[in-house]
């Protein structure tokens, strides 16, 4: 396991936050958000973070770089419900030569619902590992 980050449960430890609202289509027959649906929420926050720092994901793809997901981890603490307004706190946790990890904290009205980590590798469109662009390696981690 590559993931070695223990995501903080304090929103102040995250440098960026993205808000979204739970869709009915994301719930399951237990009346809560299905556990697989947290990953697209974290992805949406990751994409919003890249846009926020001036490097929209599509522009990165246009540069010939894909950011593969190598690993994903989610800890479900309290269920998300239909129509919840979720703050997905996001930070860049670690940066290596050709990979990085991001941490996530999901809250609703300030109450903790879940944490997560994703590990990404930088690859060419042909799938060959490649270095992260310099601007990315210069980003602040926390």
**Stretch 19-38 residues interacting with a copy of itself (CB under 8 A):** 23-25, 27-32, 34-37
Catalytic residue (choose from 10, 13, 28, 83): 28
15 binds a copy of itself (CB under 8 A): no
Q: Do 88 and 17 touch, CB atoms closer than 8 A?
A: yes
Please state, in angstroms and as integers, the Cα–Cα distance from residue 56 to each residue in 46, 129, 141, following that order.
10, 21, 19
Q: Among residues 40, 64, 129, 133, which is the contact residue for a copy of itself, using CB under 8 A?
A: 40
30 vs 134, beta carbon nearer a copy of itself = 30
- The answer to whether 10 contacts a copy of itself (rule: CB under 8 A) is no
Looking at residues 57 to 86 of the shown chain, list those that interact with a copy of itself (rule: CB under 8 A).
Answer: 57-58, 66, 68-76, 82-83
44 backbone φψ class: left, alpha, beta (φ>0; ψ -120 to 50) = alpha
112 binds a copy of itself (CB under 8 A): no
Cβ atoms of 113 and 106 within 8 Å: the answer is yes
28 is catalytic: yes
* Sign of the CA dihedral with 46 first, then 103, 118, and 131 last: positive
Q: Is residue 9 near a copy of itself by the rule CB under 8 A?
A: no
**Strand (E) positions, 1-62?**
16-21
| CA distances (Å), origin 21, targets 99, 106, 107, 114 | 30, 12, 12, 15
- Catalytic residues, by residue number, are 28
Q: Which residues bind a copy of itself (CB under 8 A)?
A: 1-3, 6, 23-25, 27-32, 34-37, 39-40, 43-44, 47, 56-58, 66, 68-76, 82-83
């Amino acid at each position: 396991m590559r993931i070695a980050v223990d995501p903080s449960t304090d929103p102040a430890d995250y440098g960026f936050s993205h808000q979204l609202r739970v869709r009915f289509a994301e719930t399951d027959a237990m009346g809560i958000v299905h556990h697989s649906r947290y990953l697209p929420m974290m992805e949406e926050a990751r994409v919003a973070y890249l846009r926020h720092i001036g490097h929209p994901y599509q522009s990165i793809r246009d540069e010939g770089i894909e950011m593969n997901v190598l690993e994903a981890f989610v800890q479900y603490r309290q269920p998300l419900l239909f129509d919840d307004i979720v703050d997905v706190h996001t930070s860049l946790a670690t940066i290596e030569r050709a990979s990085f990890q991001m941490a996530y904290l999901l809250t609703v009205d300030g109450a903790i619902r879940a944490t997560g980590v994703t590990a990404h590798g930088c690859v060419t469109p042909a799938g060959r590992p490649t270095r992260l662009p310099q601007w990315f390696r210069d980003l602040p981690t926390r």
